[in-house]
Copies of this chain bind each other. A is one copy, B any other.
Amino acid sequence: MDNSIFFKNKKYFIKDLFPAKKFRKNILIEGVKPLLSANKKDITIFDSQKYTKDAINTKAGFCITTEKLSKFLPANVEQIIVSNVLKEIALILIKIYPDANIDYPDSSLKLIKKSLKKGIKGVNFFLGKNVKIGKGTFIGTNTIIEHDVQIGSNCIIGSNVILKNCIIGNNVSIQDGCKIGQKGFGFLPNNIKNIKFPHIGKVNINNDVEIASGCTIDRGSVDDTCIGNNTYIDNQVHIAHNVKIGSNCMIAGQVGFAGSSTIGNNVSIGGQAGISGHLNIGNNVKIGGGSGVVKDVEDNQVIMGYPAKPLRDFLKKND
């Protein structure tokens, strides 16, 4: 299981996790995964009609879902019907991954005063245990790379950068002060004390990506946060948990993405635009600066405004 490189998981049998439920078989659970990547030994979740297509095709052994959605699941998936899917999955995740809901600082960090060996160049940076870094990669001063992070070759990691729970490709440039892989903004509100939602996902950054100064990219909750090949991201951009951005995109300064939206390839987004959560933005879409996108956008659209609409309508309205 992929995520286990960052978060240790405890082993439970399904019947011990849900003692009040009945199951056809009692299996030692491997992990919690999204609908399409879960296998027979995993628990998955299905909590919105938006994901019906994935639910129909899931190969998960067990699925936490609602009465209403349960009919879409294949017959061989054992259903765990609950009224509040997110609460149930949060409590299960806390049991299986007890360290994923709080970002404890990495106590394995070691100061590297100066490195020129193995092709890694840098002055005064910090590496956690099991970090893997490719040849020809530069690491900036005061940068912190936590345990198990993987970085490809010929990357430039700037200064004062913090990398955790992430896998980074080749030829990636991450400029000063970026923070990548921290827990996202997910919790169950509770008036005495909120329940923090564990984040067992990671951040995948593909080849040839450029991320400018001061960006924050949260790791996924159950799924991963992904940045596609050759996508360029300007300063102070905020990318929330589970966001997936395609290849060859251009994201200008101070853009913000709420959680779980998917952005196609060749998308350009102007400065300070905001993308709401759980949206699908198609390929080749152009989004004007300052726009607020609150609905799905089909391929090849040019949109602008708050709420964003086709450019022609925006211009007409603002004559």
Interface residues of A, Cβ cutoff 8 Å to B: 102-107, 109, 111, 121-124, 126, 138-142, 144, 156-160, 162, 171, 173, 175-177, 179, 182-183, 185, 187, 189-194, 196, 208, 210, 212-214, 216, 218, 230, 232, 234-236, 238, 240, 248, 250, 252-254, 256, 258, 266, 271-272, 274, 276, 289-290, 292, 294, 305-307, 318
Contacts and interface: CB of A to CB of B under 8 A. Distances in A.
**A interface, over-half SS:** loop
B306 A189 contact: no
Contact of A159 (B144, B171, B234, B236): B144
A194 B212 contact: no
Contacts of A183: 175, 212
Given A176-B162, A183-B175, A210-B196, A253 B232 contact: no
Contacts of A216: 177, 212-214, 235-236, 253
A159 B258 contact: no
Contacts of A139: 105
B240 A253 contact: yes
Contacts of A196: 173, 210
Contacts of A236: 216, 236, 238, 256
A185 B289 contact: no
Closest 9 CB pairs of A and B: A105-B140, A290-B292, A185-B234, A216-B235, A179-B213, A272-B274, A238-B253, A254-B256, A213-B216
